[in-house]
A = this chain, B = another copy of it.
Amino acid sequence: MLRTHTCGELRISDVNKTVSLSGWVQVVRDKGGIIYIDLRDRYGITQLILNESTTDANVIATARTLGREFVVQATGEVVERVSKNDKIGTGDVELKVTALEILNPAKLPPFMIQDDTDGGDDIRMKYRYLDLRRNAVRQNLQLRHKMAQQTRIFMDGNDFIEVETPVLIKSTPEGARDFVVPSRMNPGEFYALPQSPQTFKQLLMVSGFDRYYQIVKCFRDEDLRADRQPEFTQIDCEMSFVEQEDILKMFEGLVRHLFKTVKNIDMPEVPRMTYADAMRLYGSDKPDTRFGMEFVELTDAVQGKGFQVFDAAELVVAINAKGCAEYTRKQIDELTEWMKRPQIGAKGLIYVRYNPDGTLKSSVDKFYSEEDLKVWAERCGAEKGDLILVLSGETAKTRKQMNELRLEMGSRLGLRNPNEFKALWVLDFPLLEYSEEENRWFAMHHPFTSPKPEDIPLLETDLGAVRANAYDMVINGTEVGGGSVRIFQRPLQQKMFEILGFSEEEAKKQFGFLMDAFEYGAPPHAGIAFGFDRLCSIFGGADSIRDFIAFPKNNSGRDMMIDSPSTIDAKQMDELKIKTVL
């Protein structure tokens, strides 16, 4: 071992010991007669001291050649520091160096290895191994490690068995686009990388494994929006002989366990909300419940007063921005412009100021009396000093726009503290959604999700009204996990494929093995999967998942460090019996 201790280990009780440390030179302070070196490793920083009058001249000379990030081994005696540093664990002592070896010199890094780095995104991605040296990034990955450990402790403690499912599987057109892998041994054929181990975990239930989990890489060949990665990690779970309630209890337990053990936060029981309520009150199936500002529907109260915009609207909906009555005209105009951007697409924004003096002033005073506005204010629970913001139009679109406005106002009012955590179960999702574009029904969750038993008759009459036994866990407005009770009987599964437009043959070709399995004694089962990268970033109080992944890819799916993907040899393509067609 090239050290007797780490750089975070020495204490006052070690004084007089002869020790060796190895690490990176954080900084050298040459004060003429005395040279101080901060030596850093994963565990901490220890100060080295060399004194011209007592230290060997060769050692001094070596010290004077050191630059930032040199890797050195230093041996010497632990001594008590004259001026202590109570900011670091080793701050009571320093190492009086008697021998110093340069294990590896270092070129000047292309950016500063410190919390506030001067490196831009691209350069940090190219030199990711240096970026990973920064405390902030390393701590994120240590957090991730702890999250994985505690997840396993919880799952193991609840009798779940970790089973590895295959990575080279079969391509299925349903769902997102697959990454595929040409098979050399089976020319013309391809494996696919799993978007999730869905069918395999269901088969494990058929096998009687009863409780399965896995922290597992999954893959999706999608156009990468900001903060999506082509490979991502899931906490993937499945249980037999359970109902929805059992899953909610169990995995609420997991999340509370993680908050307790990783962040020492006592999270209360996770509240529940139906999908319908979430859409009505927040215009989103993943509401941020760190703050209220729920939607208030005003449609019936505002129509028939001659204001054409409201009269023609399917929905008129308001939120109450507490304490914002003093917003200037300019601020409101700016907010209106923000809402009109193509990303949101609102036609306009109506406001009502509830002035501190009790008067009400709106942008639609021409149509509505102060008495009318009082009614709005009352419905919104608005008080003196508040600002009511109103949108109108087609229901789904208006809700979506209002969701954006609510989140924006939440941010502006400082109501979205990343170190406060509010979890929520969203329940009773629709089973199916209709794609106008493709002119067919799609599974909202996936084709293996069970309809609510009481809604099964609706499969014959009103597909859009069928609710699923599906659930999402949302934290701070981000979906961190989701799952469903599964179909476990062949006839219902077959019916589901039929509804999704599979021919009998297609269904058999792609999922025949699963439907066969359902005929050999499949137990009732249900499961859930958490997005592990996202969960870690939320625990880390960060918006981006990228710094919770050791070696992420950029938005073109490219690893800037190793410069991948890349071309391959003609010989490789020949062996695989493929060629590129550019």
Binding site for B on A (CB under 8 A): 1-3, 6, 22, 24, 40-43, 69-71, 73, 103-107, 109, 127-130, 132-133, 138, 141-142, 145, 148-149, 152, 156, 161-171, 173, 177-193, 199-200, 203-204, 206-210, 217, 219, 221, 223-224, 230-231, 233, 240-243, 246, 488-489, 513, 516-524, 549-551, 553, 556-559, 561-569, 572, 575-582
Instruction: Give the complex CA separation of A130 and B518 in angstroms.
Output: 11
Instruction: Give the complex CA separation of A177 and B565 in angstroms.
Output: 16
> What is the CB-to-nearest-CB distance from A202 to chain B, in angstroms, rounded to a whole number?
9
| Contact in complex: B243, A2 (CB < 8 Å) | yes
Q: Can you name 7 extra interface pairs (CB under 8 A) apart from A71-B522, A128-B203, A170-B564?
A: A24-B208, A106-B520, A127-B516, A141-B209, A149-B156, A168-B179, A204-B550
| Contact in complex: A208, B549 (CB < 8 Å) | no
> What is the CB-to-nearest-CB distance from A387 to chain B, in angstroms, rounded to a whole number?
44
| Contact in complex: A518, B104 (CB < 8 Å) | yes
Instruction: Give the complex CA separation of A564 and B171 in angstroms.
Output: 8
Interface centre among A3, A109, A190, A489 (most CB of B within 10 A): A190
For A161, list chain B residues within 8 Å (CB): 141-142, 145
| Contact in complex: A190, B104 (CB < 8 Å) | no
Using known A-B contacts A521-B71, A564-B168, determine if residue A185 contacts B223 with beta carbons closer than 8 Å.
Answer: yes
For A562, list chain B residues within 8 Å (CB): 169-170, 199, 513
Closest to A200 in B: B551
Instruction: Give the complex CA separation of A142 and B513 in angstroms.
Output: 24
For A41, list chain B residues within 8 Å (CB): 208, 210
| Contact in complex: B168, A230 (CB < 8 Å) | yes
Closest to A250 in B: B1
Using known A-B contacts A204-B132, A207-B133, A561-B513, determine if residue A107 contacts B138 with beta carbons closer than 8 Å.
Answer: no
For A167, list chain B residues within 8 Å (CB): 167, 193, 217, 219, 231
Using known A-B contacts A169-B559, A230-B168, A582-B187, determine if residue A209 contacts B138 with beta carbons closer than 8 Å.
Answer: yes
> What is the CB-to-nearest-CB distance from A552 to chain B, in angstroms, rounded to a whole number?
8
> What is the CB-to-nearest-CB distance from A113 to chain B, in angstroms, rounded to a whole number?
9
Instruction: Give the complex CA separation of A167 and B568 in angstroms.
Output: 17
For A128, list chain B residues within 8 Å (CB): 203
Instruction: Give the complex CA separation of A293 and B521 in angstroms.
Output: 52
For A183, list chain B residues within 8 Å (CB): 557, 565
| Contact in complex: B163, A107 (CB < 8 Å) | no
Which 9 A-B pairs have CB atoms at the shortest separation, nearest pair first? A106-B521, A170-B564, A132-B207, A189-B565, A69-B521, A183-B565, A2-B241, A129-B203, A22-B241
Using known A-B contacts A148-B162, A579-B581, determine if residue A566 contacts B524 with beta carbons closer than 8 Å.
Answer: no
| Contact in complex: A103, B564 (CB < 8 Å) | no
> What is the CB-to-nearest-CB distance from A524 to chain B, in angstroms, rounded to a whole number?
6
Instruction: Give the complex CA separation of A550 and B201 in angstroms.
Output: 10
Instruction: Give the complex CA separation of A190 and B562 in angstroms.
Output: 13
Using known A-B contacts A208-B133, A520-B127, A568-B171, determine if residue A186 contacts B557 with beta carbons closer than 8 Å.
Answer: yes
Closest to A182 in B: B180
For A579, list chain B residues within 8 Å (CB): 578-579, 581
From the candidates B163, B564, B578, name the one contacting A578 in the complex (CB within 8 A). B578
Instruction: Give the complex CA separation of A132 and B156 in angstroms.
Output: 20
For A549, list chain B residues within 8 Å (CB): 164
| Contact in complex: B520, A168 (CB < 8 Å) | no
> What is the CB-to-nearest-CB distance from A513 to chain B, in angstroms, rounded to a whole number?
5
From the candidates B132, B163, B186, B230, name the one contacting A145 in the complex (CB within 8 A). B163
Using known A-B contacts A133-B208, A208-B138, A572-B171, determine if residue A557 contacts B521 with beta carbons closer than 8 Å.
Answer: no
| Contact in complex: A103, B141 (CB < 8 Å) | no
| Contact in complex: A565, B210 (CB < 8 Å) | no
Closest to A217 in B: B167
> What is the CB-to-nearest-CB distance from A181 to chain B, in angstroms, rounded to a whole number?
5
For A516, list chain B residues within 8 Å (CB): 127
Instruction: Give the complex CA separation of A181 and B119 in angstroms.
Output: 31
| Contact in complex: B169, A558 (CB < 8 Å) | no
From the candidates B188, B513, B564, name the one contacting A169 in the complex (CB within 8 A). B564
From the candidates B164, B178, B187, name the one contacting A580 in the complex (CB within 8 A). B187
For A551, list chain B residues within 8 Å (CB): 165-166, 200, 203
Instruction: Give the complex CA separation of A141 and B204 in angstroms.
Output: 11
From the candidates B107, B152, B233, B557, name the one contacting A519 in the complex (CB within 8 A). B107
Closest to A555 in B: B185
| Contact in complex: B24, A163 (CB < 8 Å) | no
> What is the CB-to-nearest-CB distance from A456 to chain B, in angstroms, rounded to a whole number?
16
From the candidates B182, B521, B559, name the one contacting A166 in the complex (CB within 8 A). B559
> What is the CB-to-nearest-CB distance from A262 to chain B, in angstroms, rounded to a whole number?
14
| Contact in complex: B566, A520 (CB < 8 Å) | no
| Contact in complex: A186, B106 (CB < 8 Å) | no
For A182, list chain B residues within 8 Å (CB): 180, 182, 578, 580
Instruction: Give the complex CA separation of A568 and B192 in angstroms.
Output: 9
> What is the CB-to-nearest-CB distance from A234 to chain B, in angstroms, rounded to a whole number?
12
Instruction: Give the complex CA separation of A181 and B204 in angstroms.
Output: 28
From the candidates B40, B165, B189, B520, name the one contacting A567 in the complex (CB within 8 A). B189
Closest to A189 in B: B565
